[in-house]
């Protein structure tokens, strides 16, 4: 069956189409307004129509369900409308072809919802917004038995994300197809519009969005500039544990999501962040065991103020439950989020951070950001709650906890110890 799809790729897009079929893995780094979604949807349509596999399955994975529905689904319907026998399911955002092939539009917001499927090919759009677990734990197994293809697509958002990690991989691995589409090269956006964008956005943001630069920080980043400064000063490096000092632990407790632990030593004026651990949906004993298994002499545990909340199931405070397991906490003072962020910003210049043990922490601090409000033309006060929030909250506990300890150590310690209940 010969079918004509109403799609005429631009020259810059045609160059990519010619190469995609030659590689199992591809990374496309493209400027804004390049036409990434149109290119991706049409590549999936071609793959679905020409696949020789039984019941082939393909997926387009967008950062959000809303993006998949409002943008990609309309393109999918438009470009397949001339294919006889095509059926659509708008509720599930999928398209079924007469040859048994299926294209489904999915969201990366909930990786667990994608587990268990098989894929003959997938495209992950805006890869910089995707968690690493999606690729390693969900997509890779889904592609394995069918030897399916994977195409990572996006525009740079700094270096603290999965897109940059795979960009580096694609640069070094000949089995990957790497294509960088800069606006100055493609000429898709005319020069006058680019000049106007530069004047409005500024050089750094323009370089990221239109010239595919990975250097810039995430828009609205709270700690991005500070982390960059620490890198320049070689304070993100190998930080061995000093056996002459105890290792303290700053906690952010998650009860239906992630719990983050920052392991640090206070050596004179400096804070040595030597290790980091994060997991989700695990009970207290799990983290107690993690700490126990570390080859560290543990000093003080610092926890958030909600340690004093009573658990409905036990009638005990979380602090009391921790005490039963041998974990003694100093509780960081309850402060507004902005005060905690300020304390963390004051602390970071005094920090050495281990580059190997704390990769996820470093990436989280780079990513932690405020959302820009187009209506109000300013950044929202409250930071965005996402995968980076828990590590950032643990840093706030560290900063406010040791500050409290420094200025009120004797009184605070006496009060804390007297509040423990022997259970």
Angle at 69 between CA 66 and CA 71, to 5 degrees: 95
Task: Answer whether 11-211 and 224-419 agree in fold.
Answer: no
pLDDT at 110 over 90: no
- In terms of DSSP bridges, do strands 57-62 and 121-124 run parallel, antiparallel, or are they unpaired? parallel
Residue-level pLDDT at 418: 33
Tell me if 395 sits within 8 A of 365, measured CB to CB: yes
pLDDT band of 132, cuts 50, 70, 90? confident
Residue-level pLDDT at 214: 78
pTM: 0.56
From 153, 165, 203, 169, select the one nearest 32 (Cα to Cα). Answer: 153
Query: H or E stretch including 347?
Result: helix 337-347
Tell me the average pLDDT of the chain. Answer: 87
pLDDT at 412 over 90: no
d(C-alpha 281, C-alpha 292), whole Å:
19
pLDDT at 117 over 50: yes
d(C-alpha 232, C-alpha 230), whole Å:
5
pLDDT at 120 over 60: yes
Least confident segment among 42-51, 151-160, 185-194: 151-160
pLDDT at 164 over 90: no
Give the homologous superfamily in CATH for domain 11-211.
P-loop containing nucleotide triphosphate hydrolases (3.40.50.300)
> Quick one: what percent of the chain has pLDDT higher than 70?
92
Query: H or E stretch including 94?
Result: strand 94-96
What mean pLDDT do residues 72-95 have? Answer: 94
What is the residue extent of each domain of the chain?
11-211, 224-419
CATH code for the part of the protein at 224-419: 3.30.420.280
pLDDT at 213 over 90: no
pLDDT at 93 over 50: yes
- CA distance to 246, 306, 358, 407, per residue, from 294 (Å): 12, 25, 15, 30
Residue-level pLDDT at 411: 39
Q: What are phi and psi of 280, to 5 degrees?
A: -135, 155
Residue-level pLDDT at 215: 64
């Amino acid at each position: 069956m010969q079918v004509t799809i109403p799609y005429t790729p631009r020259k810059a897009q045609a160059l990519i189409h010619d190469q995609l079929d030659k590689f199992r893995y591809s990374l496309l780094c493209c400027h804004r307004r390049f036409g990434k979604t149109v290119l991706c949807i049409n590549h999936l349509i071609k793959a679905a129509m020409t696949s020789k596999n039984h019941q082939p399955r393909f997926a387009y994975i967008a950062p959000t369900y809303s993006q998949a529905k409002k943008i990609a689904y309309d393109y999918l319907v438009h470009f397949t409308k001339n294919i006889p026998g095509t059926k659509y399911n708008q509720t599930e955002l999928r398209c079924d072809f007469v040859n048994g092939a299926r294209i489904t539009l999915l969201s990366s917001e909930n990786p667990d919802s994608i587990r268990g499927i098989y894929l003959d090919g997938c495209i992950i759009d805006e890869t910089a917004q995707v968690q690493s677990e999606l690729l390693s734990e969900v997509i890779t197994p889904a592609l394995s038995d069918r030897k399916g293809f994977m195409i990572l697509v996006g525009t740079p958002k700094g270096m603290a994300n999965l897109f940059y990690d795979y960009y580096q991989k694609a640069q070094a691995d000949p089995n990957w197809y790497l294509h960088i589409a800069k606006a100055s090269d493609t000429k898709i956006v005319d020069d006058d519009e680019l000049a106007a964008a530069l004047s409005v956005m500024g050089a750094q943001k323009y370089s990221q969005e239109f010239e595919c630069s990975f250097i810039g920080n995430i828009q609205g980043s709270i700690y991005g500039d500070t982390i960059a400064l620490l890198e320049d000063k070689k304070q993100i490096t190998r930080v061995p544990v000093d056996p002459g000092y105890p290792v303290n632990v700053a906690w952010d407790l998650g009860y239906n999501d992630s719990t983050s632990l920052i392991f640090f030593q206070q050596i004179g004026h400096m804070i040595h962040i030597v290790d980091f651990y994060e997991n989700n949906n695990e009970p207290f004993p799990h983290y107690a065991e993690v700490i126990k298994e570390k080859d560290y002499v543990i000093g003080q545990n610092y926890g958030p103020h909600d340690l004093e909340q009573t658990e409905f199931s036990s009638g005990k405070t979380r602090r009391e439950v921790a005490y039963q397991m041998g974990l003694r906490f100093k509780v960081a003072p309850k402060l507004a989020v902005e005060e905690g962020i300020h304390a963390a910003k004051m602390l970071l210049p005094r920090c050495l951070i281990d580059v190997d043990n704390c990769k996820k922490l470093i990436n989280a601090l780079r990513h932690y950001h405020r959302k820009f409000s187009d209506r109000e033309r300013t950044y929202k006060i409250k930071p965005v709650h996402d995968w980076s929030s828990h590590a950032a909250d643990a840093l706030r506990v560290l900063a406010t906890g040791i500050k409290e300890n420094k200025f009120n150590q004797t009184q605070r310690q006496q009060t804390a110890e007297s509040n423990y209940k022997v259970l």
